[in-house]
Amino acid sequence: MSWWWAGAIGAARKRFGEEDDAPPKHQSVALIFGVTGIVGNSLAEILPLADTPGGPWKVYGVARRPRPAWNADHPIQYIQCDISAEKDAQSKLSVLTDVTHVFYVTWANRSSELENCEANGKMFRNVLNAVVPNCPDLKHICLQTGRKHYLGPFELYGKVAHDPPYHEDLPRLDAPNFYYTLEDILLERAEKTEGLTWSVHRPGTIHGFSPYSMMNIVGTLCVYAAICKHEGAPLRFPGVKAAWEEYSDCSDADLIAEHEIWAAVDPYAKNEAFNVSNGDVYKWKHLWKILAEKFEVEDGGFEEGERITLQEIMKEKGRVWDEIVEKNNLQATKLEDVGVWWFVDLILSGGCPLDTMNKSKEHGFLGFRNSKKAFISWIDKVKAHKIVP
């Protein structure tokens, strides 16, 4: 039995009231970049748990902004640092000499993919230059990219894509992609650093919790539903028929975190790239009913005809959101911070090309999520943190 599987059993025992008194066999120190992002927040919750494989873990979490209230309960050492600034990265990261595992789950969005390559490449180099030479016990770096590896950048979304289902052995597309830039930087550094291993993780659309995420579909839809409820308007589906009717899949943020921890500590997962998705499919017309029920709003469903987009609908809703926040005593947020309209419009603009999890399974990762149940739990979490009423 692998100790990864033993750890999963230990977690199950804990959930069902059985005690596991065996002393921990491993001591690891994690450094999370993007700790307030959608996967970073899940890593900050899961890594410190007593039964997390590779632990007990000491955890550092790095983000550009001050620590938000919804992240404050995680037992981690929070470091405010702008990794796009070389001096800030050096001064704040080079002193963390006990790090054994890096989880890089952050990115910067620029106006073109060439600019994305430059900005994100610089950030990642700044991190590696500050951490790798100063951490003698560094063992592994997890790099999170995504399904745009197979779809192409946002500006060419779907125009240069591979034929799905997507598997990890597909060649790179003939288009600029900052995911490729990050992979090249990682592999070059690993080749020059004795004993350093790596893994690359490619999720699809991520379902999770983070009001700071630039690509948070669940949180954005919750805000949209709350506004419809406040105005007494039906919850209309802001996408095309293909998105409404056809199968979609997603990647649960907690599952991605578990996948990255597995790759960080399991010898059989070293130096590989892996897709990571829930392992099931759903239709948005079914999840839409759930969303409407959770916010007690009329299910407007999909309507034939000219598509409505959230970017258009939400142009003048800033004051409405301010009213909702004040009326319901929610955490103080601005609409432009919690509503990532462009991203949801993009995701719902066509069918969802699926990936395959065969490689992860063949290497020993058998984790999965029920996407429908997880969708409900993420909505509940957004409500529990008083981001939406």
Task: Indicate which residues carry an active-site annotation.
Answer: 148, 179
- Phi, psi (5° rounding) for residue 76? -130, 165
Separation CA 190–CA 152 (nearest Å): 25
What are the tokens at 63?
A: 């983000």
Separation CA 274–CA 251 (nearest Å): 13
Beta-strand pair 101-104/57-63: unpaired
**Of residues 140, 166, 141, 142, the one with CA closest to residue 152:** 166
Separation CA 245–CA 37 (nearest Å): 30
- The type of residue at 217 is I
Report helix, strand or coil for 325. Answer: helix
Cβ burial 286-309 (10 Å sphere, 16+ → b, else e): ebbebbbebbebeebebeeeebeb
**Burial category of 362 from C-beta neighbours within 10 Å (exposed 0-12, middle 13-18, buried 19 and up):** exposed
What are the tokens at 73?
A: 């309960």
C-alpha triplet 221, 222, 224: angle, nearest 5°: 60
Query: Rounded to 10 degrees, what is the CA torsion of 286, 288, 292, 298?
Result: -100
Separation CA 317–CA 313 (nearest Å): 8
CB of 227 within 8 A of CB of 324? Answer: yes
**Of residues 45, 149, 146, the one with CA closest to residue 104:** 146
Q: CB count, 10 Å around CB of 270?
A: 15
| Residues 6+ away with beta carbon under 8 Å from 299 | 234, 235, 288, 289, 292, 293
- The type of residue at 183 is E
What are the tokens at 363?
A: 């290497």
Which residue has tokens 């120190």? 29
